[in-house]
Amino acid sequence: MQPSPKFQAAIYSDDVVKLGKQRADILVTHEAFSCHIHGWSALDQLARDLRVVRAFHGHTHDDQSDAYALQRDAMGFEVRAVNYCCIKNGLGEMVFEHARSYF
């Protein structure tokens, strides 16, 4: 059965199962992990299955990495957020941040 064209970018459960059998050091997602109030525990499990060391997410545009650090042991991996219009290196350190402009 073909998924709806509306959800072409979605990751379906069979995709998650296949991904979870692989290994990765880093996981980059659009959606947040459960350490964010609007995050998803399914992404936590995928990160654990992949045995990642560090995970990055965007979407929320509010960098709560300092608060996430307090949950590192419980999560089993380090989570970093990407702030609005910025670039971070592999350690989560800011490399470039564009000033926000509101219209």
Domain ranges, residue 34 = 23-97
Does a structural domain hold residue 12?
no
As for how many domains the chain has, the answer is 1
Residue spans of beta strands (DSSP E) within the chain = 26-29, 54-57, 78-81, 86-88, 94-97
Tell me whether residue 34 is in a domain: yes
SS3 label, residue 85: coil
**Does 4 map to a domain?**
no
pTM recorded for the entire structure: 0.72
pLDDT tens track for 27-48: 998 888 998 888 889 999 999 9
Backbone angles phi, psi at 25, to 5 degrees: -85, -35
In a domain? residue 11: no
Instruction: With a cut of 80, say whether residue 26 has pLDDT above it.
Output: yes
Is the residue at 76 inside a domain?
yes
Count how many residues are written for the chain: 103
Max distance between CA atoms of the chain, in angstroms, equals 46
Q: What percentage of the chain reaches a pLDDT higher than 90?
A: 26
Asked whether residue 2 is assigned to any structural domain, the reply reads no
